[in-house]
Amino acid sequence: MVTESANGETRVGGFDTEGRWFVAGLLAAAGAALGLLLPLLAGWAAGLPWVPFQGPLRLLASFDGSWLVWGRPLLGAVLGLLLAAWVVTGTAVLVLSDAQVEVVRRGQVERVIRRDQVDGVHRRGSKVVVESAQGRELFADDVEGPKDAVRAAFVRHGYPWEGGDV
């Protein structure tokens, strides 16, 4: 996601509303499915002689109370939502200006990279990499958003984007 602010800064990264809902739904469904299948998987694993922790696995497989039939999937969905919140808030957001790049996670500025420290910016797979003149990586992490929009945001603020491809 790439957004412009009134003061000339550009926010790059983070999840938009649809992305947040997608991640939350996906991880909640995965947690619910795991909660539903946990006794079956534990029983199957407990039947394999080479799998460690046979006692705890047999204990998990024996959880068949009526409230657990709906309780496990519900607990799994809640844990999936908590994981989704952690993933969404932990995603790096870069606040670009002509003077600096701020790396923001969980609402807190994690690092400030001055423009004069930056010698090159490029993509390595899904990661955006910001390097110094000495080749030191000042930032290297996944940044959500269209690749061409991320590149355009850096170029618009005068950062040297390496490589013509996005």
Enter the pTM of the model: 0.75
pLDDT at 26: 97
Q: How far is CA 149 from CA 5, 100, 139, 144, in A?
A: 15, 18, 18, 10
- The answer, yes or no, to whether residue 38 has pLDDT greater than 90, is no
Residues 6+ apart with CB under 8 A from 78: 31
Percent of the chain with pLDDT over 90: 43
| Collapsed DSSP state (helix, strand, coil) of residue 134 | coil
Quick: pLDDT tens for 15-27.
888 999 999 999 9
Work out the pLDDT band at 164, boundaries 50, 70, 90. Answer: low
Check residue 165 and give its pLDDT: 52
Please measure the distance between the N-terminal and C-terminal CA atoms of the chain and give it in whole angstroms: 15
Q: Residue 144: what pLDDT?
A: 85
113 — pLDDT class (breaks 50, 70, 90): very high
| 3-state SS, residue 106 | coil
Query: What is the tens place of the pLDDT at every residue in 42-90?
Result: 888 888 889 888 888 888 778 777 777 788 899 999 999 999 999 999 8
Instruction: Please give the share of the chain, as a percent, with pLDDT higher than 70.
Output: 98
Determine the Cα–Cα distance for residues 47 and 70; give it in Å rounded to an integer.
25
Residue 2 is predicted with a pLDDT of 77
The pLDDT score that the predictor gives to residue 87 is 93
pLDDT for the residue numbered 166: 45
Average of per-residue pLDDT values in the chain: 88
